Structure 1
Amino acid sequence: MKTIIKAAAVLAVGGIACAGSAQAEEIIVTPIAEARVRYEHADQEDIAAKADALTVRVRAGAQASSGALSATVVAQGNLAVVDDYFDGLNGAPTRPLVADPQNVAIYIAQLQYKSKGTTLTAGRQKIALDDERFVGNVAFRDNAQTFDAVRAEVAPVKGLKLDVSYVWSVRTIWGVDGNAARQQAVSGDNVLANLSWATPLGMLTGFAYLVDQDEAAVQAFRLSSQTYGARLAGTHAFGKAVKLAWQASHARQSDWHRNPNNYSAEYWLADVALDVKGWKVNAGYEVLGADEGTALTSFQTPLGTNFKFQGWADKFLTTPANGVRDLYLGGGYGAKQIGALSAVTLQATWHRFDSDRFDQHYGNEINLLASAKLHSTVIALRYARYDAKALGSDTDKVWVQFDWAI
């Protein structure tokens, strides 16, 4: 707490000094309100009972701003209306896991100074870097993930940006009742650094992520790691109707701080997508490599938004000891407006999962998505089917979700 207060005070004093006459400007208060209702069903072959979760999440708060300075506070609550599921904390896992435990907490509590080329933020905040593979908000889960941190984003010249955060606590999706391996918060001295440069081929980013999971209950420190790598992501339009997008990434990870393991593992990603008048096709290959096959010596992403990657059935949130190779193909359609519906998305993706070491075929997965906005309501329907071979068990999941925000 003392660290939070100190960091906030330093930012506030520095921001006021930089803002000059900002304190004399009018204070604008903007309300923040969000609501979500979601039904999630899970049927897992190795668990006799099925899971049914109907949850309601509400967030409310406000942002007060004056010139370059702002203060934001948002609280959230998550209620299980139908709780026929294992939430990861309460009860025995006699039903499949749905990682949305009931919770009441402060979601955001930050001070920010923002001017041309510089943004400084201190306090509890969202941090989502690049595609969120390594650092993200985990927004799909009701409680999401935020960071107690100080962050500096500096763009000294056009096309160049430095983004550096020091994080002393990661507020997890498990909420106020989090315990044991699923802590409410994981402390540590984390450093998250990005340096990006806009090139003719796309945004080139070099990154260094020093992850310090300094809680013995969380895998006995075995998720602490240092990751260094680079990413290139770009697009090119061929006229008004055709657009090609690509991304490529490589990283190397090894043990860090108190991690008792001695390991080194690599990450690779190649992805290409083509959009022709709203019709989309994409293909990619992602590798989270292994070292020598010992648990938690494969490439891990404990701070990432892992639901977005390697299938929605969540079979690979923790990378297996022998690593994972994900070959995926997808297609779909998107439209800005269809009748009363806006932001319409239809999507299907097929995954083939194999090990990085040896020749194990873990399984295949199909993901389907239909989403659209009707007036102020975002409606999303999802389906995931995992067909197990050498890892896990056959699993079906269905989601029906409604979101509102002002």
Structure 2
Amino acid sequence: MNNRWKRQSACILSALIVGTPALASEHSLHDAVSKGEVSGNVRLRYESVDQDNALKDADALTIWTRLGYSTASYHGVSGVLEFEDSRNVLGLDDYNNALGKNTNYSVIPDPETTEVDQAYLQYSVDKLMARLGRQVITYDNQRYVGPVGWRQDRQTFDALRLSYSPSDSLSLGYAFLNQRNRIFAEARDVAAKDHLLNLGYDTGFGKLSAYAYLLEEDDGPDNALDTFGLRYAGNQELGSIDLMYTAEYATQKAEAGASDFDADYFSMTAGVGIKGITIALGYEVLGSDAGNYGFSTPLATLHLFNGWSDQFLSTPVNGLEDMSVTVKGGLAGGKWAVVYHDYSADEPGPGVDDLGDEWGVAYNRSFAGNYSAGVKYAMYSAGDTAAGKVDTNKLWLTLGASF
């Protein structure tokens, strides 16, 4: 934990303990604390990775635990403090945790860690919300900013966040991030000076979002990453039929030392739901700058996009075109999904065109109120060998509880 966050954390915790001007009296502080809520989550997961290369097959059994406390609001002021812990179970840790352990195994990026997950003060009044401290931040569909909640150490940010809703249909959001607390424990957190702006407008047929995400890491040479875009997403009911649709376009400028790159992003989805079955067709393009740079979304919940086997967490320099078909529905009180992806390069190069395909199947079910269980499987078949990908199979078995 760096010194800057230690100072911020101390200030936040002190404020939670001694109160703010609005919580000046002992009785007011007692009310805010005594009316607070304790919450928690536990997730036990087995994950295996089998790749067609020289690496050994990976197996991991990990348990993630989160314990949090939220104060009650007093004159609009409240606070949250959460801790999380990720541990190996029963010694099943034959995997590369992305931090240099067992590098002869395939990667499962779930290192052991205990850390502050969230710690922030919040002020809410009328149509304004201000939040300062370590927190989860999500915008739109998490394509650019999200918590990566799939992993056992979710992503949070040390940030000042402001939200303002002047009407029921219009929302304005801004956040300044000075640290990205990534999914690799504290060892690979990134000091930053990121500005996130997101405006949303409900048209009645869907939500129109306009955004500007201006990212820059504190350390190293010039590395600014500026993205500007528009997104429209909605759904409509036509009798017994549900229609779903999204369209999005963004342009990006990246600095890498003395070099500058430009790339575009495009996405479109159309879906229909009939009698509990949903079928959706998707087309997403993460563009390339003449085969030298691929469109990047480093703060995203990347597991939600481009296949569950996580082959394209970093966009290839030739870019990526992803055509997908998703079919999902309900079964025996749970939810199932089958997803197919076909990948190709946005700007093909020598030996780099067909980037493979992937099948994914999943089933999840909640039971007994606070419990859930799930199984997920992904099978990726590589395309051009020059793309650096190999056939990969991944399996997850999950059991969770919340309170």
Query: Which of 267, 270, 286 matches 1:269?
Result: 267
Partner of 1:369: 362
**Conservation of the 8 A alpha-carbon contact between 1:45 and 1:393:** yes
Q: Which runs of 4+ in 1 moved over 6 A?
A: 17-22
Secondary structure of the residue aligned to 1:26 is helix
Task: After superposition, give the CA deviation of every residue in 1:144-170 in whole Å (9 maximum; x if it has no partner).
Answer: 100000001100122000010000000
CA distance in 2: counterparts of 1:254 and 1:145, whole angstroms: 24
Partner of 1:37: 44
Q: Determine if the alignment matches structure 1 residue 77 to structure 2 residue 70.
A: no
Counterpart residue identity of residue 41, structure 1: S
Q: Determine if the alignment matches structure 1 residue 299 to structure 2 residue 295.
A: yes
Q: CA shift at 1:77, angstroms?
A: 0.8
Counterpart residue identity of residue 161, structure 2: R
Partner of 1:356: 346
Query: Which of 214, 225, 232 matches 1:210?
Result: 214
Counterpart residue identity of residue 33, structure 1: G
CA distance in 1: counterparts of 2:22 and 2:267, whole angstroms: 41
Q: CA shift at 1:20, angstroms?
A: 11
Q: CA shift at 1:115, angstroms?
A: 3.0
**Conservation of the 8 A alpha-carbon contact between 1:16 and 1:23:** no
RMSD: 2.4
Range with bigger deviation, 380-389 or 91-100? 91-100
**Conservation of the 8 A alpha-carbon contact between 1:72 and 1:110:** yes
Q: CA shift at 1:116, angstroms?
A: 3.0
**Conservation of the 8 A alpha-carbon contact between 2:12 and 2:119:** no
Q: Which runs of 5+ in 1 are unaligned?
A: none
Q: CA shift at 1:5, angstroms?
A: 6.3
Partner of 1:104: 114
User: Aligned ranges for residues 7-406 of structure 1 at < 5 Å?
Assistant: 23=28, 26-27=31-32, 28-67=35-74, 68-81=76-89, 82-176=92-186, 178=187, 183=188, 185-216=189-220, 222=223, 224-239=224-239, 241-256=240-255, 259-294=257-292, 297-334=293-330, 338=332, 341=333, 344-358=334-348, 360-375=353-368, 376-390=370-384, 391=387, 392-406=389-403
CA distance in 2: counterparts of 1:45 and 1:364, whole angstroms: 15
**Conservation of the 8 A alpha-carbon contact between 2:94 and 2:102:** no
Secondary structure of the residue aligned to 2:322 is strand
Secondary structure of the residue aligned to 1:66 is coil
Structure 1 residues 287, 96: closer, same or farther in 2, change over 3 A? same
Secondary structure of the residue aligned to 2:54 is coil
CA distance in 2: counterparts of 1:221 and 1:236, whole angstroms: 45
Task: After superposition, give the CA deviation of every residue in 1:217-241 in whole Å (9 maximum; x if it has no partner).
Answer: xxx665x3000001001110123x3
Q: CA shift at 1:80, angstroms?
A: 1.3
TM-score normalised by structure 1 residue count? 0.89
Structure 1 residues 324, 7: closer, same or farther in 2, change over 3 A? farther
Identity score, percent: 29
Q: CA shift at 1:64, angstroms?
A: 1.0
Q: CA shift at 1:29, angstroms?
A: 1.7
**Conservation of the 8 A alpha-carbon contact between 2:365 and 2:373:** yes
Q: Which runs of 5+ in 2 are unaligned?
A: none
